[in-house]
Structure 1
Amino acid sequence: MTAINQLYPQPLWQWFEQICSIPHPSKFEHALSAHIQQWAKSKNLSVIEDKVGNLIIKKPAYPGMENRKVVVLQAHIDMVPQKNADKVHDFEKDPIEAYVDGEWVKANGTTLGSDNGIGMASALAVLGADDIKHGPLEVLLTIDEEAGMTGAFGLEAGMLDADILINTDSEQEGEIYMGCAGGVDAQISVPMSWQAPEQTNASFKLTLSGLKGGHSGVNIHLGRGNANKLLARFLFIYADDLALELVNFTGGSLRNAIPREANISFMLPSENQVKLEQAITEFQALVRAELSIADPDMLLTLESIETPEKVIGEEAQNTLIDLLHACPNGVMRMSDEVEGVTETSLNVGVINTENESVEVLCLIRSLINSGREEIETQLTALANLSGASIELSGAYPGWKPDNNSPVMAIVRDTYNDIYKKDPTIMVIHAGLECGLFKEPYPTMDMVSIGPTIRFPHSPDEMVNITTVGQYWELLLAVLERIPAKD
């Protein structure tokens, strides 16, 4: 088997192997951060950890290039922790088991962390090299991008000297990103009441699995199944007919990942068990037919459980099912300005049953503020109708495209010179940190590039080896072409 650290470009892949070996899910980046700081100090590089945990590393210019504009290479330290149900893995303790599979690097049953580990590895490889031509260089590694953009929110003015920022968090070779969606978290709390169950009833757990999932921005337009929404649909169709008494609804794990799995626990009269099994068979066939191209492998699995002490009250159950089934999800509107790009979307990402409520966590994304606000008001209206409460939090701005961006022109022309074809200039329906950086650094010129990454935020995540080399060559050529200061 090919060793990852022997792939081209070797310095980048050697760093990526180190990154995979040190656990770094969102909120738990400290070990990897400490490793990077120790390495930077050993290279006599200036390294600062700011008050929220971001790392800023500075490197002098290559001899003769001291008069160039200052560039900051930016990536985020954290990764999304997702795994297959049958995979035993502790993201806070266990390394990522990365391996080469043909033209791709993948992980064994978990997310790979190429989002944004490849970008981070490229920045660290540039810092460690003596033969790469560049002007004064800074590297900004932010924390917690995937779980709230805490690092980007906390970045203060005056920490960076750069005139230009190159974000490395894009996921398609041949595309240059010059804008992105903003977003906001919406948490709906549905009040619960409880009652004693019918002791003669049978008790079951129904698990919906087998979906592809994926990034709730990059993959939202693909029409993949949402486990939370599908299981809510099952309940809406069959709960009354089966005299089902709901005990628990749990689904998804991250607001920015399309949920791949969900489960419900419930009771129903023993005589309805055959009808339940028929309903499961019927619904599974229905969904597989509907998603035969986008997501064909949905699976419903039924297992017996111990009799619970309580079930959700009838009125609360009906309200919950109605709200979950009625809640919008997926693409709300495509962009009029950028062909083929989603303008506004909603992901019903996480459902958890607690003692006093069922919590529903959604992520709204939009390229325009009015699109985001429209979905906010729809969810608020739905909560009002259901007697639920809603909290909107963590709003972050989009990154407004600048068609006159000098660094975008440099990247575009450099790409054309290397590959003899024009790259695609894009706006991405995902939450890059660039919009937040514009707050403390309003005049900074920004662009985003990266290799081809497929299915980020899911255990199917993989990065194309050839495109990593192409991204690296482009990055180095762009650094060499950065112009002198005015």
Structure 2
Amino acid sequence: MSNVLVNLNPSSVFEYFEEMSNIPRGSGNEKAISDYLVAIAKKHNLEVVQDDVLNVIIKKPATAGYENAPTVIIQGHMDMVCEKNKGTVHDFKKDPLKLRIIDDMIYATDTTLGADDGIAVAYALALLTSDDIPHPPLEVLVTVEEETGMDGAVGLDPKHLDGKFLINIDSEEEGQLLVSCAGGITTRQILPVSWEDVNKNDISYTINISGLSSGHSGSDIDKGRGNSNKLMGRILNDLSSDFDYSIKSIDGGSKHNVIPRETTTVICINPNDSIKLTEKINKWDTILKNELRASDKGVAVKLEKCEDNTSKVFSKETMKKAIASLVLIPHGVQSMNMEMKNLVESSMNLAIITTTDTKVIFESSIRSSVQSLKYNILNQAKMIADLLGCELIESADYPEWAYDPDSKLRQLFEKVYQQKYGKSPEVSAIHAGLECGLFKEKNKDLDMVSFGPDMFDVHTANEHLSISSTQRTWEYLLDVLKEMR
């Protein structure tokens, strides 16, 4: 086991964070980390429940003088997004993360760090195993599969929890209190593929778009970052105007909640058109470098001749519908909130494209803090699918968390922040799904706040966590709990 974080404070928080970094915990692969949490609870003689979906609930009695204080739920999720840089050798199902420190920041090496949301779990474990921190009765709730559809929160039985105050530690900006979040829904547009034989004289090329900044499809959707799937649609549509070509496959993106950074298309052309194709791709490389110079400096469009033995290509009709899907499926901000400055209200992200033997799948995530707008975007997606002869499948429909102007917990967080720093925290909403929406749906009486330390580039291989912010946020949490006497 590494000891990269051994000299950092708060020591117990970073000790648990490093321990968890040695346990693979990608979404859907949480058995080991769930068992780890149960083992810690049992070691410290704490009441623990591991439910059917592997959520873990650990309860700790109040410290002296806090017996009559209200029970507080400390909540985070145990899974992480598994992204790595191209060419990096790392198996997220078995390999530990390789932590490193640069100045005030903790990084993994060429992979996501898992501070989203490992830092919440580390805070919770430090609280549960402490013997010198004053606090009210605690219920620690650590959920599974938050990143891939909030399945843990969906499967949670509220009978395991008594608390009426819930502190969600799944935010990424110190000094910000999140008090509302977007709801969302995932769509999969299914285009049936009809195939034709490859022209025996044609040659194959791969067109690859890479080097984009990517990012979280909720919190980063307003940053103007390129979507490799949408950009590929523009390129393929433009090629059609200059010469004939056929498509063998289109594949791009890897996670439904990540703006795709790389898309690859395999095409076939007449050898006589090779020069035209090269000129076109070079032109698009220049176009995108100019368009995205502020947001995606590393963008690159590359063409490479390939040996592809596939004997089939999309029929002309399938090809037309595939390109139309890439161009027409919405991506980006759809509406802005008119009450909270700079808050995205509704958006859609064309996240993943997959080609199989029978179909092309276009997977998107829709988000909105207004339920009616979420379903309006869904209806648009249905119309596009219908016009193109596709099936649209909906899944992972989760609710929004509405702002509560009378929240006592928010008022307490504001009061403590004012006392500590002499200024008010930023009270805001987030254009991303938080499990709070599902918890509120299960228990209408919950009073909730979400907060956390500074994290950067989450859901990317450049994800990093501020050490000093982690310490300040920890101390802030302890002061809030102390005030609940």
TM-score in terms of structure 1 length: 0.98
CA contact (8 A) 2:399 2:441 kept: no
Identify unmatched segments of 5+ residues in structure 2: none
- SS of the residue corresponding to residue 385 of structure 2 reads helix
2:412 match: secondary structure: helix
> What corresponds to 1:351 in structure 2?
353
Q: Which residue of 1 aligns with 2:481?
A: 479
CA distance in 1, matches of 2:136, 2:264: 54
Change (3 A) 1:305 1:162: same
| Runs ≥4 residues deviating over 3 A | none
Measure how far apart 1:5 and its partner are: 2.8
- The answer to whether 1:378 aligns with 2:380 is yes
Cα pair 1:203 1:307 within 8 Å, conserved: no
2:308 & 2:55 partners in 1: Cα distance?
47
Counterpart mapping for 1:241-390 below 5 A? 241-303=242-304, 304-390=306-392
C-alpha displacement at 1:2, in angstroms? 9.3
Which of residues 440, 452, 455 in structure 1 aligns to 2:454?
A: 452
Deviations 1:128-161 (A, max 9, x none): 1111110111100000000011110111121101
Which residue pairs with 1:75 in the alignment? 76
- The one-letter code sitting in structure 2 at the alignment partner of 1:369 is Q
C-alpha distance in 2, partners of 1:337/1:436?
A: 24
8 Å CA contact retained: 2:41, 2:58: yes
Instruction: Tell me which residue corresponds to 1:426.
Output: 428
Aligned partners of 1:228 and 1:259 also within 8 Å: yes
Secondary structure, counterpart of 1:146 in structure 2: coil
- Determine the C-alpha separation between the residues in 2 that align with 1:452 and 1:422: 17
Which residue of structure 2 lines up, in the alignment, with residue 49 of structure 1?
50
SS, match of residue 4 in structure 1: coil
SS of residue paired to 2:222: helix
Deviation at residue 440 of structure 1 after TM alignment: 2.2
Partner of 1:136: 137
Aligned to 2:109: 108
1:182 maps to a residue whose letter is G
3-state DSSP of counterpart to 1:66: coil
- The corresponding residue for 2:39 is 38
SS of corresponding position for 1:224? coil
Helix, strand or coil at the partner of 1:205: strand
* SS of residue matched to 2:110: coil
Q: Which stretch has the larger CA shift, 234-243 or 177-186?
A: 234-243
Percent of aligned pairs with the same residue?
39
CA contact (8 A) 2:23 2:96 kept: yes
Q: Residues 334-374 of structure 1, C-alpha deviation per residue, up to 9 Å, x if partnerless?
A: 11121111000001011000122100110000010111011
1:117 is matched with 118
Once the two structures are TM-superposed, the CA of residue 399 in structure 1 deviates from its matched residue by: 0.4
Deviates most, 453-462 or 357-366: 453-462
Cα deviation 1:419-440 (Å, max 9, x = unaligned): 1111000101010000100122
1:399 is the counterpart of 2:406: no
How far apart are residue 180 of structure 1 and its match? 0.3
Correspondence list, 1:201-216, <5 A: 201-216=202-217
Structure 2 partner of 1:230: 231
Number of residue pairs matched?
483
1:435 aligned residue (434, 437, 443): 437
**Cα deviation, residue 241, structure 1:** 2.1
Query: Residue 256 of structure 1 aligns to which amino acid in structure 2?
Result: N
The CA distance in 1 between the partners of 2:129 and 2:94, in whole Å, is 27
Given candidates 416, 419, 430, the residue that maps to 1:417 is 419
The TM-score normalised by the length of structure 2 is 0.98
| 8 Å contact kept, 1:193–1:312 | yes
Note the residue ranges of structure 1 that are not aligned, 5 or more in a row. none
